[in-house]
Structure 1
Amino acid sequence: MDTLNKTNLKQAIIKVLQDYVEFLGNDPESDLQLIIDENKDHYLLMEIGWHKNQRIYGSLIHIDIIKEKIWLQQDGTEEGVANELVKLGISPQQIVLAFKTLERRKITDFAVS
């Protein structure tokens, strides 16, 4: 797989996040907020709301672009955002599973850093 430039990485990230919003966005008790900062390369999908008396607040997905690589800081999905990005043509060597320890990253097919 070819290494993609920053513009292609941004487009892939936004596509994946928008797909998750469409897929998950039907819960009447919580709201999904897609937060995109293309200038600083931060991308978040937040879930906010209430379930009975329990507050829901947190990031489902947090992605940064650092040195031409996608850094997955948080992935709260079952399917795995990294797998969705690979399906869109992103090389596994351009994706860092930052939510895993350095030692665990070394035994994956994805970039270590």
Structure 2
Amino acid sequence: MDSLNNYRKLVKQLVTEYAEIPVFDSGTQNATIFDVENDRYMFINIGWSKEQRIHHCVIHIDIIDGQVWIQANNTDRLIAEELVAAGIPPESIVLGLQPPDVRPYTAYGLPCSEMPMAAEECYK
């Protein structure tokens, strides 16, 4: 449970740091969405630009079965590497934005549901 709380803290910190980067379009703003009950963490850009509605998910990270799932990364940065540098082991990070058949060939973990052991024993 201690590692889970640490993962939550690190994910919130990363998402917050990205959301604090100033926006160049005065009609939009950055916002964070932290659903701690369901372990969902997002950074979105919302507003209006040139009479067009902007509602863009920049980063979306979930924590599922004790693993950090990167669901969306619409930045030019490798946030999985940043999470590893912050202290989250690569095997505890799942690239949810990658197709399931590609995930075994990445440097990161597989979902607990795809591991041969029970989910509660995954990466203990």
What is the CA deviation profile of residues 30-63 of structure 1, one whole-angstrom value per residue up to 9, with x for unaligned ones?
1111011112111111110122132211211111
Q: Percent of pairs identical after alignment?
A: 32
Q: Supply the distance in 2 between the matched residues of 1:36 and 1:5 (Cα, whole angstroms).
A: 18
In structure 1, give the amino acid aligned to 2:90. Answer: P
Q: CA shift at 1:80, angstroms?
A: 2.0
Pairing 1:30–2:28 present? yes
Secondary structure (helix, strand or coil) at the match of 1:90 reads: coil
Secondary structure (helix, strand or coil) at the match of 2:91 reads: helix
5 Å-filtered alignment, 1:1-113, equals 5-23=3-21, 25-27=22-24, 28-113=26-111
Residue segments in structure 2 that go unaligned for 5+ positions in a row: 112-124
Residue segments in structure 1 that go unaligned for 5+ positions in a row: none
Q: Supply the distance in 1 between the matched residues of 2:3 and 2:87 (Cα, whole angstroms).
A: 12
In structure 2, give the amino acid aligned to 1:17. Answer: V
Secondary structure (helix, strand or coil) at the match of 1:100 reads: coil
RMSD: 1.3
Q: CA shift at 1:29, angstroms?
A: 2.6
Q: How many residues align?
A: 109
In structure 1, give the amino acid aligned to 2:23. Answer: N
Q: CA shift at 1:86, angstroms?
A: 0.9
Q: CA shift at 1:26, angstroms?
A: 3.2
Higher RCO (Cα < 8 Å, 6 or more apart): 1
In structure 1, give the amino acid aligned to 2:58. Answer: L
